[in-house]
Structure 1
Amino acid sequence: MSQTTDNSFSAELEKQGIDGHMVLGHPSGLFVLFFTEMWERFSFYGMRVLLVNFLTTAIIVGSPFSGWGWDPVQAGALYGTYAMLLYISPIFGGILADKYLGYRYAVVIGAAIMTLGHLFMAFNTPLFLYLGLAALVIGTGFFKPNMTSILSEMYKGFPQKKDGAYTIFYMGVNAGAFFGMMLCGYLAEKIGWHWGFGLAGIFMLLGTLQFWFAKPIFGKIGDPPTAEQRAAAKAQKWDTSNPDDKPNPFTKLDTFLIVVMTLLGLGYAFNDPLSKIANIDILSVFQIGDYAGQYVAILTALVLFIFVIISRLIRYTKVVRDRMIAVIIFAFFVIFFWMSFEQGASSLVLFARDYVDRSLTGNSLLIFNTINTLLTVVPLALITYVVFKLTKATFGKAPLSNWVQIICFAALWAIAGWMLYKEFTAESSEITVSWFSILNSFFIISFANMVSKVWESKFNPPASVKYGLGLIVMAIGFGLLAFGAHGLHAGVKVSMVWLVLAYLFHTLGELCLSPVGLSYVSKLVPARMIAFMFGMWYLAIAIGNKLAAILGGQIENITKEYSLSTFFLIFTIVPVVAGVIVILLHPLVKKLMHGVR
């Protein structure tokens, strides 16, 4: 039966001018997308794991290991704005691709801009740092939403195979993050920052070329919309027999308020790092008494946002309104999850650098090197096998794409081999700060299938319970850090075991919560409103990321005033309380969902 499905799928793809060769039961185009996403994530996470560490490392004149000597508050403000904008820019990139560019050109444009951004990051000057971050935000806006759009279009006639395709695609995300953080981090911390930032840019460039040269594999998928298609989309009418499908267009007041709240929100995003790094306050005009202008501005934007949401909700039919309220409840609680989980990009990096004993010698070094070798070689060998299968299937159709891929993996093996050789021949070594960050990707790859099997069994809990479990399980990781750091005093460092366990529980929490959200947005919201609600969902994640960086930047201040254990207790107690509340809300949410499971 499976072979018959594969044959019919292949034949259907060939009719559309798409390469019909199957690789591991899926079209070759899926694996082109897999590797394009892998190299983009390699670059993104390779840079991400370095940024806060680089900004806060002490200034050492003339040294390749010299940082900028910022305090964590300044670094958190800059990183938080960058992370926040990364989740907002795809809203605009998706609109441009849908209406004008097409998905494939949008991906190439985004990848090219991101390559330029990584190139800028390799230069050690403030101007190029800010230009690089801006280019990465803009490039992500074009790249991120359109990769999954290409994948979805490819599987349009075979929805039964789509879940498996997304699982494979998600593995590409984690493989890229894993190797990016490992290798960019190693080069940066062992040779110099420029090498780490530069390597991220090189693989982003190669990933872009690999995708561009693979155009013959995709046929017309992702091409710019024709004039006829644009006219048809514009003329599309709602189903008059279904009152729940009735359009709810934005009024002039809605549009005006959205513009105002967007300007206030962006003003806050830029003013936060400007005021903390350069003492430039562009929102001082909004100051009221002792309340800084930027906080008045963002609270005003929040009030306007709530007003617009409520005014729109009351214009929908009861069923649609209730289901949208359920999505809003999920979106609200997702803020608390990412506020805590994203400490991995800020405070946990500083914790690993300053408070964890990373020095190894003798047998402990041998054990670590053995584990690290297995962690590196086994997944790299498996992915190389996929490259071999893809090359064998598509070399005649897209040889240049395959040659770029071969060059990428030859370089990856060479860098990984050099890293392992260097560590095995050392008498003593200090584990890199960035190494701990790879644990999230490793644990996802290890446990994703197991968690998925639980959700498919009779033990599958309701959405609210999954959310609550995700928050509570993640909080356990911070609770372990709080326990491990209890009573810590100057000059004493904790065992790395605490950080490894923390990442384990953070990942298990992510697997409980993260895949659920977007799934329920698509189930609960009518098709014509999905783009709007996805935008709101990503806005919630953007807020969570900004809060994470702000709070993470307070690690030194809270540690000096109270203790390091107190700092981690914040991220233990808040998610647990949020998790318990969302579980208790299950009867209400179930009622609001009107039968959607």
Structure 2
Amino acid sequence: MSATENDFFKSRVLGHPSGLFVLFFTEMWERFSYYGMRALLVLFLTSSLIGDNPGWGWPREHALALYGSYTAMAYLTPILGGYFADRILGYRWAVVVGATLMTLGHASMAIEVNPFFLYLGLILLVLGNGFFKPNMTSILSEMYKLHPEKKDGAYTIFYMGVNSGAFLGMLLCGYLGEKVGWSWGFGLAGIFMLVGMLQFYFTQGIFGKIGLKPKTNEQLNEVAESTEGAVLEGKTTVENIDHSPKNPFSTFDLIIISIVSVIGLVWVINDPVSKITSFNLFNFAVGSLDGSNFVILIALALFLFILVKRITQYAPVLRDRMIAIVVLAFITVFFWASFEQAGGSMTIFAKDYTDRILEGTGKVIFNVVNTLITIIPMLIISFVLAKLFGQTFKKYSVGNLVLAFGFLLIWGLVIYMLSQQYAEEKSEIPATWFGILNSLFIISLAPLVSKIWESKLNPPATVKNGIGMILLGIGFAALAIGASSIPQGAKVAQVSLIWLVLAYLFHTLGELFISPVGLSYVSKLVPGRMIGMMFGIWYLAIAIGNKLAGSIGGEIDKITAKYDMQTFFLIFTLIPMALGVFIILLTPVIRKLMHGIR
């Protein structure tokens, strides 16, 4: 038996349809697997070939090049995944296909003895993420189509699922990977991705007809029109941009876009391949530029050309608003290039340069804090799980039993981890543990920041971006201060862990000021028929930022050898803060370009 659209709100959990919490837990398991694997990847690749838990002994530059390409691709494939779901698979089958591919990807990575399986696993994860990521939110959006007043609350709950999964994934996969064996960490990520897929598959009837079939062209047009209407409800005080002439892509435009796409994709893949192996597609030089830099500069020039060409062909108001989006996207590139050091250079800093051995009072305090921040969220999530069981167990018993199995396993792992930590004479904090601070701070601080956005203190988009970049820079300033005692070229050190904690605190505050509001402004500033294209540009900006994060982070050894670790982190301090001040100063200009949109 399945629900219809009108039945969604008859079965409620905490005031929302039970189906929302099916999505909550499915997304939670997926984020568990993504962040659990991400926390381990660079550590595994760079760990010594010998020892109790040997890795592959890669140079940091090679590991971070692969990390950057993987995270960049993870933000590009959802553009294609959303397209296939809309026209071929439907949202629900796209989620199942994506989750299955990611399960196979994690399983492949658990076979750590062979590079082939690592690369195959990363490819499957990128493809699976492309099918999974955009279609979960598409189902959620469809569920609340007739109840827009509840959509903000629904997305807040969904966002909590994202961060709960990230928290538990980094905590447990990180612990098993570092303390027991890398295969155990990678394998655990795969187990819970499988749990998420099975739970969704056996409970999907709760969504009624939503996401079963791809939309027809007529339905897609209706969605575009309704989205345009929603954008218009922003009550812009200028001309109705949705009635401005359409600007279809010419054959020339499509050729240039295709060339840029192929060059960009090949460059992203070639970058780690050329470092890890002797194979290099761009093994030539043009003047003082090597082939790799030359081709990516050509691609960038062609991209800027087609972007300027397209923007200038629109009506004045729409053209101005698109320029505003491009400026915000430019800041987004540098934000993610810095923020994503969390999975790269900051993880290396935690592993090799931070004093993670605690004893005496320090050990007691850490054990108590770690227990509280682990058990309290688990109790809250278990309470939500019990509520969901009460509403859905009779109709969807198999899906609920799969979910229950997952939680019993989680509780078992949590108890095992905490008992091991209490039994140790000295506690060695896993390097991956620091990554959980981002999710913990988001869960704690997001309600406060949300209240600011709803008050009279809500600043313009440029001020939000500027403050976010400055906060990001302050986080890296904390690391620079902490690294001031590390000698030039040192490979290990014992810096206080407080500097990493402060860095994650300020980075999370910066994320809350920048990340959640970006797509919101895109949807406000362009007509519904263009939202897909502009979202694509926005995700492209995030992908570029992620790739830059790996490329710049990979220079850590060269910079610390020539200068020192403090200089490395000062780069990420000064550039974001300077850009933050710059974008705040642009506020009057951007406000004009937005033409009444706040």
For the aligned pair, the TM-score class normalised by the smaller chain equals: over 0.9
User: In 2, Cα distance between the equivalents of 1:513 and 1:340?
Assistant: 13
What residue identity is the alignment partner of 1:48? R
Which is worse superposed, 293-302 or 230-239? 230-239
Instruction: Write out aligned runs for 1:489-568 (5 A).
Output: 489=487, 490=490, 492-568=493-569
Code of the residue aligned with 1:171 in structure 2: it is M
CA distance in structure 2 between the aligned counterparts of 1:583 and 1:209, rounded to whole angstroms: 47
Task: Return closer, same or farther for 1:242/1:293 CA change in 2, 3 Å cut-off.
Answer: closer
Q: Check conservation: 2:62, 2:272, Cα contact below 8 A.
A: yes
The yes-or-no answer on 1:484 pairing with 2:474 is: no
User: Aligned in 2, Cα 1:378/1:297: closer, same or farther, shift over 3 Å?
Assistant: same
| Structure 2 stretches lacking a partner, 5+ long | 229-238
Matched, 1:78 2:66: yes
3-state secondary structure, aligned to 2:253: helix
Report the residue type matching 2:252 in the other structure. L
Would the aligned equivalents of 1:19 and 1:219 in 2 still touch at CA under 8 Å?
Answer: no
**CA-CA distance at 1:241 after TM superposition:** 8.7
For residues 439 and 424 of structure 2, the distance between their equivalents in structure 1, rounded to whole angstroms, comes to 27
State the one-letter code of the partner of 1:219.
G
Contact 2:241–2:318 (Cα < 8 Å) also in 1: no
Q: Counterpart of 2:430?
A: 432
Q: Tell me which moved more, 423-432 or 341-350.
A: 423-432
Q: 2:235 matched to 1:246?
A: no
Query: Are 2:4 and 2:207, in contact at CA under 8 Å, matched by a contact in 1?
Result: no
Q: Which residue is 1:258 aligned to?
A: 257
CA distance in 2, matches of 1:132, 1:290: 37
**Is structure 2 residue 27 aligned with structure 1 residue 26?**
no
Would the aligned equivalents of 1:216 and 1:397 in 2 still touch at CA under 8 Å? no
Q: Distance in 2 between matches of 1:138 and 1:243?
A: 34
1:80, CA displacement in angstroms? 0.8
Q: Counterpart of 1:199?
A: 188
2 CA distance for matches of 1:53 and 1:362? 28
Paired amino acid for 1:95: Y
Change (3 A) 1:587 1:202: same
In the aligned structure 2, how far is the partner of 1:126 from the partner of 1:23? 45
Instruction: Find the partner of 1:400 among 370, 386, 398.
Output: 398
Equivalent position amino acid for 1:256 in 2: I
| 1:236–1:562 distance in 2 versus 1, CA, 3 Å | closer
**Percent identity of equivalent pairs:** 56
The equivalent of 1:116 in structure 2 is: 104
1:105 aligns with 2:93: yes
Q: Give the AA of the match of 2:371.
A: T
The answer on 1:377 being equivalent to 2:375 is yes
Match of 2:151 in 1: 162
Deviation (angstroms), 1:487:
2.9
AA matched with 2:258: V
- The match for 1:307 is 305
Q: Distance in 2 between matches of 1:280 and 1:443?
A: 43
Separation in structure 1 between the aligned mates of residue 33 and residue 277 of structure 2, nearest angstrom: 28
Task: Report SS of the residue matched to 2:96.
Answer: helix
1:171 paired residue number: 160
Work out whether residues 244 and 319 of structure 1, in 8 Å CA contact, stay in contact via their aligned partners in 2.
no
Contact 1:16 1:219 in 2 (8 A): no
Q: Which of 380, 387, 390 pairs up with 1:389?
A: 387
User: Are the structure 2 counterparts of residues 119 and 308 from structure 1 closer, same or farther at C-alpha, using a change threshold of 3 Å?
Assistant: same
Distance apart, 1:244 and its partner CA: 3.8
Aligned amino acid, residue 143 of structure 1? F
Q: Equivalents in 2 of 1:583, 1:549: separation in Å?
A: 27
Aligned residue-pair number = 581
After TM superposition, give the deviation of residue 215 of structure 1 in Å.
1.6
Write the letter of the residue equivalent to 1:270.
I
- Report what 1:143 is aligned to: 132
Contact 2:247 2:313 in 1 (8 A): yes
Q: Deviations over 1:3-60 (max 9, x none)?
A: xxxxxxxxxx745565730100100010000000000000000000000010001101
Is 1:412 the counterpart of 2:410 in the alignment? yes
Match of 2:38 among 45, 48, 52: 48
Q: 2:469 aligns with which of 455, 466, 471?
A: 471
Q: How far off its partner does 1:581 sit?
A: 0.6
Q: Is the CA contact 1:184–1:200 (under 8 Å) kept in the aligned structure 2? A: yes
Q: Aligned to 2:289, what secondary structure does the other structure show?
A: coil
1:230 is matched with 217
Q: Within 2, Cα distance between the matches of 1:478 and 1:446?
A: 21
Instruction: Name the SS for the 1:284 alignment partner.
Output: coil
The 2-side partners of 1:464 and 1:234 are apart by 32
Query: 8 Å contact 1:39–1:203 — kept in the other structure?
Result: yes
1:302-341 mapped onto 2 (5 Å cutoff): 302-341=300-339
Give the residue type in structure 2 aligned to 1:255.
L
Q: Given the superposition, is the C-alpha separation of residues 242 and 546 from structure 1 closer, same or farther in structure 2, using an over 3 Å criterion?
A: closer
Aligned residue type for 2:376: V
Q: CA deviation at 1:313?
A: 1.0
TM-score, length of structure 1 as denominator length:
0.95
**1:67 counterpart = 2:55:** yes
Work out whether residues 5 and 208 of structure 2, in 8 Å CA contact, stay in contact via their aligned partners in 1.
Answer: no
Per the alignment, in what secondary structure is the counterpart of residue 250 of structure 1?
Answer: coil
Counterpart CA distance in 1 for 2:522 and 2:5 is: 33
Contact 2:80 2:130 in 1 (8 A): yes
Aligned-pair CA distance for 1:213: 0.5
Secondary structure at the aligned position of 2:28 is classed as helix
2: CA distance between counterparts of 1:39 and 1:242? Answer: 41
CA contact (8 A) 1:38 1:176 kept: yes
Unpaired segments ≥5 residues, structure 1 = 1-12
